[in-house]
């Protein structure tokens, strides 16, 4: 797979559907710079709500080289299976692997929106509010130090605890094997989980945001961020990424810009 992967937040697809000049400029930028567009499941779930733009989004995606990333659980599964080695972003489909026509690709994307994504979206909407509420409730059991701020030690404890807790239901044997052998588990190797837990900690604990249930989709989309070369996010998530980079909170510098900056680039 090309290591020049570009990720666009869902709102960028809607902006391009509304602005054909923007869509043309982004398409030209992707092709001329030999990027491969990365589509996440959450991209499609969020686009699903905007049925009037499906045709424009399908047309754009089918016009450039693209891959559909595995969901965050499958990315972490690959991270565990290859631990502690680095991995490439796991994908479910790449247009470059086939000789489908643009029309065939457009039709396939729309069929997925109508069928698989429709079903997945309903299941997701049912469950995400409960998860969001549990995050808010759990804050009470992990207050900041006496000075009212979370210390680096508390941040480390939160990440260590919650990354492993996230992995446990799916990878018990892996965790038990390492613990029984008294081996340190390097949670930084599970980048897709680490970045999500870090985002939750910074926004919901440090900044005390109550947020909204749809934040969970945004955090899920962050799972691909450590594996792409370029990413465009809304202002809120861009500010989060900038904060992480400024404070060196992630093992490597994360790529990212907002739409205004991306317009200047293209």
What are the DSSP E strand ranges found in 154-218?
none
Whether residue 45 has pLDDT greater than 90: no
pLDDT at position 124, please? 67
The length of the chain is 266
- What integer is the mean pLDDT of 113-137? 77
Please, what's the largest Cα pairwise distance for the chain?
62
Strands 66-69 and 91-94, bridge-based pairing:
antiparallel
Q: Which residues 6+ apart lie within 8 Å of 180 measured at CB? A: none
- pLDDT category of residue 199 using cuts at 50, 70 and 90: very high
> For residues 254 and 241, is the Cβ–Cβ distance under 8 A?
yes
> For residues 8 and 37, is the Cβ–Cβ distance under 8 A?
yes
pTM: 0.93
Dist CA 2 CA 228 (whole Å): 10
Tokens of 30: 């992707």
The mean pLDDT value of the chain amounts to 93
Whether residue 119 has pLDDT greater than 80: no
Q: Left (φ > 0), alpha (ψ -120 to 50) or beta: where does 248 sit?
A: left
Sign of the C-alpha dihedral, residues 108, 53, 26, 73?
negative
CA end-to-end span of the chain: 23
pLDDT at position 115, please? 84
pLDDT at position 130, please? 78
For the chain, which residues make up each domain, given as ranges? 5-265
pLDDT at position 129, please? 75
- What integer is the mean pLDDT of 122-141? 79
**Phi, psi torsion values for 134, nearest 5 degrees:** -65, -35
- pLDDT tens-digit map of 63-109: 999 999 999 999 999 999 999 999 999 999 999 999 999 999 999 99
- What integer is the mean pLDDT of 157-174? 93
Whether residue 2 has pLDDT greater than 60: no
pLDDT at position 102, please? 97
Mapped onto helix, strand or coil, the DSSP state of residue 208 is: coil
Residues of the chain with pLDDT > 70: what percent?
96
Whether residue 123 has pLDDT greater than 70: no
pLDDT at position 142, please? 94
Q: Which residues 6+ apart lie within 8 Å of 162 measured at CB? A: 197, 200, 201
């Amino acid at each position: 797979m090309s290591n020049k992967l570009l990720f666009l937040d869902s709102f960028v697809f809607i902006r391009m559907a509304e602005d054909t000049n923007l869509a043309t400029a982004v398409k030209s930028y992707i092709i001329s710079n030999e990027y491969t567009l990365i589509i996440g499941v959450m991209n499609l779930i969020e686009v699903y709500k905007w049925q009037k733009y499906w045709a424009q989004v399908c047309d754009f995606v089918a016009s450039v080289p693209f891959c559909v990333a595995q969901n965050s659980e499958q990315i972490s599964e690959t991270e565990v299976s290859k631990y502690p080695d680095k991995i490439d972003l796991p994908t479910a489909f790449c247009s470059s692997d086939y000789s489908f026509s643009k029309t065939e690709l457009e039709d396939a994307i729309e069929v997925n929106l109508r069928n698989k994504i429709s079903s997945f979206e309903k299941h997701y909407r049912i469950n995400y509010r409960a998860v969001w509420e549990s995050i808010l409730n759990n804050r009470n059991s992990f207050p900041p130090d006496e000075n009212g701020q979370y210390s680096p030690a508390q941040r480390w404890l939160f990440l260590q605890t919650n990354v492993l807790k996230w992995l446990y239901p799916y990878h018990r044997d892996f965790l038990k094997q390492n613990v029984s052998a008294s081996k340190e588990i390097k949670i930084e190797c599970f980048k897709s989980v680490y970045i999500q837990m870090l985002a939750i900690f910074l926004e919901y604990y440090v900044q005390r945001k109550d947020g909204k249930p749809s934040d969970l989709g945004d955090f899920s989309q962050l799972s691909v961020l450590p594996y792409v070369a370029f990413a465009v996010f809304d202002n809120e998530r861009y500010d989060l990424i900038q904060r992480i980079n400024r404070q060196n909170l992630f093992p490597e510098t994360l790529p990212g810009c907002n739409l205004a900056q991306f317009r200047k680039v293209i």
